[in-house]
Every structure is written in C-alpha cells, then in structure tokens.
C-alpha cells in the first residue's frame, strides 16, 4: 500500500536513488517531459560474457520510438559504460528511427539487422515461392551461407534472374540493405557469431513472463533486479568452476586440446572441441608453397565444392582462412585446426586467443578498477590488510587444490564468510537514513504500444492488432534529471 499511496513513479525514483547510494557502480538517468509524464517502452542492452551467456549492460524505459529519443538513450548508455569504446557490432530489428540514431551516435559501429526478422518478413513476400525449397535454400545462402562478397553477388543475381524478381520492390529494398544482414559482407567485423537479436528478445522473455500490462514500474524494477541477480549468480558459479577445474573430454586430449582446456572457459572449450573434432574428419591438400608459407585447400567431411583456403606461415605460426571465422567470432575454424594438427602445433598461438573468451577475461576489468580503488584503500589503511589476506588465501588455495576434501572445506568457509559479510553490509545500510531524492514531481506513466515488439509467439497465440495511436515526443524540450549520489 505504501507503493500505491506514494505514487508508483516517485517510489521508483526513490528506489533508484537508494540503490545508487548503496552501490557507486549503479547508474541511472531520467528525463522528464513538460507535463512530467512518460510512456512505458522497454529496451535492454544485452551482450555475451566469456561463458557464452547473456550479460545485462543496461535497461531503459523510453518515452517513444523516435530518433531523438534513441539518440538520447545511446548517449546516456555511453556515459553509463564509463569508456570511450563503442560497440563493434549492434543488432536490432528493422526500425528506421533506431537506424538513424545509431548512424548518428555510433558512427564507427557496424549496425546489423536481425536475420530472424528478415526471414519472417521475407515469407510474406515470397508468394508461391515459399513452397519452393530450392529458392529458400538460395535465399538462406545469401543470408548466411556465403563467405565472400563475390560469392554473395553471384548467388543473389542467379536467384533473382532464375525466379524473375528483377522488378520486385521488396527484394530491391532488401538488396539495398545487404551490408546490414548478409554475413558475407560482415566477416571483418567481430560479432561473436551472432546472427539475430534473439539474445535481447530472450531477455525480454526472461522478465516479461513475470510481468503483465498491469505490472507497476516498481514491480517491474524488482523483476529486472531479480533477473540480473540470477544471471550474475550463474556467472559467478561458472567463474568459480573455471578457476578450480579444467574441462575433460571424451576425446583424447592432444596437446592442442589440452592447451584450449587451460585457457578457455568451459563453454568456449566445448565450442573449440567441436571444431577440433570436425577438423579430424577433413581432407587437406597442399596447393602451393612459397618459402615458409604454405597454401592448403581444406574440404569438410562429406561436402564437396566447399573448399576453403588456409595460408600458413609455419615459421611464425601465422595463419589465415578464407572463411574468416576468427575475425567474425574470435575462435579458430576447423580448417585452421586441421592444418595446425598436421604440423604438430601444440599450442594455440597467443595472437589467436581472444581474451574475452578466456578464464582470465576479467583481469583487464580489475586492472581498470583497481587504481581508483587503491587510492581509497591507502587512505583508510586497508591496503596492507588486503595484501596480507590475499597472500594467506592464495597459499591456502595452493595447498588444498589437489585434495578434494580440503577443497570442500575451503568452499564451505568461503560460502559462510560471504553470507555473513553480505548480511553485515545489509544491516549497516538498513540502519542509515533514506537518501534524499529531488522533489521533482513524477506522474505515473501513460501506456504506450511499441512498434518493435517481438513477434516470436507460438502459432496458437492470436496476433493482436497494433494500436495506431502515436505517442507524444517527450524527449525533446525536456528537463534532464541527474540524481546526485548521497555522500557517505
């Protein structure tokens, strides 16, 4: 009842300010319209961590889906990340306003369209061709089956010519956006192997299945926090498993596999293992040699006419494949692994180990955080204590690592200590006064219908007609509210 009586939006503002006071790393910004109202359009910034799992970078409620609103959102997101680095690749659905905003804010980023949405839209334009399996295979090859621009252009022209689509306006428009959806034209841009915005939409589902149209802002915030907490708990569990164990394999751990198990997280090692197994069934033929540089043609097992060329400098251990999987995903392809195995390369060369997929991915993060944290530690006398405890714990871990019973004792002690420390800080926070929030009036939201709503629903669910009512442009001529953290 306190939430209802206090006003849902105002209560949310108090929660956000309180959370920021508890955690300096928590970031939020709010922008109000002239009448103090805003709409409920939700959007998540989702990426992938080193365990191949979703990671939440941020979540937003937007006033509308106009270009100026998206520009404000992207600029605030950049501010929240605290770095000048911008995303290499961004996946969205087909929204013109969002595209224009990305072109304006992320001038160096590669904007990609979700292939799932393209396939769904394509079906409605195929007509009788949607029953033609040969045509569908050709279209899908244009989407993600070509490895070069030449191959893409040849496949597209042949498809358009054979099926008389030269004057089809939809196919003309789609071709005009080819750099945004064809994997063949994006091999040089890192995308982690993603083809769609499905990870973002799975995030919407993860929170949305608990929410309804009548869910309040405050309730939704708690659902969001619960989702992020589950993800972080799972990430911590995977981090712990990677540190204390090395993945095993049903296949003999030859040196190359052994090295991969030592550097990659368990999930990424499984992907590497699959590539290695396929590599063992491929056929590699040497095509030419020039000094220490060898050119191989590698054919996948059971597939003809799909030869890829691998250039290998056996003196410097430098390699490149025409499939360009490493540039696109940051993992070596089976074509390269086949050549490595033939030349008894026992370790993955350092230049081909992408830090973001390794067990040590977070070291770089801590190296950025520690300098500022170190100054505070010196000021309050905690630096010597931290060094001493870290040394003691490291020695204890080294002593216990080969004994399962000893490891169990350490795990139990860590769990108990962590729970007690968390409770200690919680008790301290509850005893402190509530943070003071700006008294700006925040009215409860007007309901809004999004044009970017996901349509991935079971066929048994009836599709509702979209409301044609527009939403007011609140983003322009608005007051920016930046909450001031409480001094502790």
Query: Which of 115, 111, 110 minimizes the C-alpha distance to 199?
Result: 115
CB 76 within 8 A of CB 29: yes
Q: Dmax over Cα atoms in the chain, in whole Å?
A: 80
Range(s) of the domain holding residue 275: 266-357
Helix (H) or strand (E) holding 335: helix 334-342
Does 258 fall in a domain?
no
CB 310 within 8 A of CB 320: yes
pLDDT at position 84, please?
81
Helices (runs of H) and strands (runs of E) counted in the chain? 17, 10
Helix (H) or strand (E) holding 141: helix 133-144
Which of 303, 334, 357 terminates a domain? The answer is 357
Q: What is the pLDDT along the chain (488 residues), one digit of tens a residue?
A: 444 444 677 788 888 888 887 777 788 888 766 555 644 577 888 889 999 988 888 888 887 889 999 999 999 999 888 778 889 999 988 788 999 999 999 999 999 998 888 888 888 888 888 889 999 999 999 999 999 999 999 999 999 999 999 999 999 999 999 999 999 999 999 999 887 656 655 666 656 556 666 677 788 888 888 888 888 899 989 988 888 888 888 888 889 999 999 999 999 999 999 999 999 999 999 999 999 999 999 998 776 668 999 999 999 989 999 999 999 999 999 999 999 999 999 999 999 999 999 998 887 666 665 555 555 555 556 656 766 777 788 778 878 888 889 988 988 898 899 888 888 877 776 665 554 444 455 566 555 555 555 444 443 433 444 444 444 443 333 333 334 333 32
pLDDT at position 161, please?
95
The total number of residues shown for the chain amounts to: 488
Beta partners for residue 481, in sequence order: 30
pLDDT at position 116, please?
82
Beta partners for residue 437, in sequence order: none
Task: Classify residue 315 by its DSSP letter.
Answer: T
Task: State the total domains in the chain.
Answer: 2
pLDDT at position 369, please?
58
- Is the alpha carbon torsion for 220, 222, 223, 228 positive or negative? positive
Tell me if residue 23 falls in helix, strand or coil: coil
Which of 191, 225, 240 terminates a domain? The answer is 191
Beta partners for residue 110, in sequence order: 89
Rounded distance between C-alpha atoms, residue 142 and residue 185, angstroms: 10
Query: Which of 321, 319, 310 minimizes the C-alpha distance to 350?
Result: 319
Tell me if residue 132 falls in helix, strand or coil: coil
CB 29 within 8 A of CB 238: no
Does 336 fall in a domain?
yes
CB 43 within 8 A of CB 450: no
Does 400 fall in a domain?
no
Does 308 fall in a domain?
yes
Does 423 fall in a domain?
no
Beta partners for residue 381, in sequence order: none
Which of 357, 380, 398 terminates a domain? The answer is 357
CB 256 within 8 A of CB 345: yes
Query: Which of 150, 141, 154 minimizes the C-alpha distance to 182?
Result: 141
Rounded distance between C-alpha atoms, residue 77 and residue 91, angstroms: 15
Does 140 fall in a domain?
yes
Does 235 fall in a domain?
no
């Amino acid at each position: 009842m306190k939430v209802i009586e206090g006003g849902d939006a105002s209560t949310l503002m108090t929660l956000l300010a309180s959370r920021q006071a508890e955690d300096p790393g928590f970031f939020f910004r709010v922008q109000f319209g002239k009448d103090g109202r805003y709409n409920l359009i939700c959007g998540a910034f989702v990426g992938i961590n080193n365990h191949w799992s979703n990671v939440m970078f941020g979540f937003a409620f937007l006033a509308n889906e106009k270009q100026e609103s998206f520009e404000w959102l992207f600029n605030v997101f950049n501010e929240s990340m605290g770095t000048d680095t911008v995303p290499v690749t961004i996946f969205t659905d087909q929204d013109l306003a969002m595209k224009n905003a990305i072109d304006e804010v992320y001038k160096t980023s590669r904007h990609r369209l979700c292939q799932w949405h393209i396939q769904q839209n394509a079906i409605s334009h195929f007509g009788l061709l949607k029953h033609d399996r040969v045509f569908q295979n050709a279209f899908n090859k244009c989407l993600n089956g070509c490895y070069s621009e030449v191959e893409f252009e040849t496949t597209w022209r042949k498809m358009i010519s054979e099926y008389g689509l030269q004057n089809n306006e939809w196919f003309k428009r789609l071709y005009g956006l080819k750099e945004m959806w064809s994997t063949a034209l994006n091999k040089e841009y890192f995308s982690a192997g993603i083809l769609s915005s499905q990870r973002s939409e799975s995030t919407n589902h993860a929170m949305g299945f608990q929410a309804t149209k009548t869910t309040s802002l405050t309730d939704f915030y708690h659902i969001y926090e619960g989702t992020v907490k589950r993800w972080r708990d799972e990430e911590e569990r995977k981090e712990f498993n990677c540190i204390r164990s090395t993945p095993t394999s049903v296949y003999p751990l030859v040196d190359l596999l052994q090295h991969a198990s030592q550097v990659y997280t368990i999930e990424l090692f499984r992907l590497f293992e699959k590539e290695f197994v396929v590599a063992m069934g491929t056929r590699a033929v040497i095509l030419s040699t020039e000094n220490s540089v060898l050119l191989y043609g590698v054919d996948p097992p059971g597939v003809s006419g799909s030869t890829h060329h691998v250039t290998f400098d056996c003196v410097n251990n430098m390699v490149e494949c025409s499939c360009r999987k490493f540039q696109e995903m940051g993992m070596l392809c089976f074509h390269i692994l086949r050549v490595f195995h033939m030349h008894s390369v026992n370790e993955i060369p350092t230049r081909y180990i992408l830090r973001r997929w390794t067990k040590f991915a977070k070291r770089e993060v801590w190296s950025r955080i520690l300098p500022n944290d170190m100054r505070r530690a010196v000021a309050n006398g905690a630096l010597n204590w931290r060094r001493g405890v870290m040394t003691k714990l490291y020695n204890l871990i080294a002593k216990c690592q080969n004994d399962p019973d000893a490891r169990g004792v350490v795990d139990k002690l860590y769990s108990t200590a962590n729970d007690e420390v968390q409770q200690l800080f919680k008790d301290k926070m509850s005893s402190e006064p509530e943070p003071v929030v700006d008294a700006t009036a925040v009215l409860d939201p007007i309901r809004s219908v999004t044009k970017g709503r996901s349509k991935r629903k079971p066929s048994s669910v009836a599709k509702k007609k979209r409301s044609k009512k527009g939403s007011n442009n609140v983003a322009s001529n608005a007051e920016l509210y930046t909450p001031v953290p409480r001094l502790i």
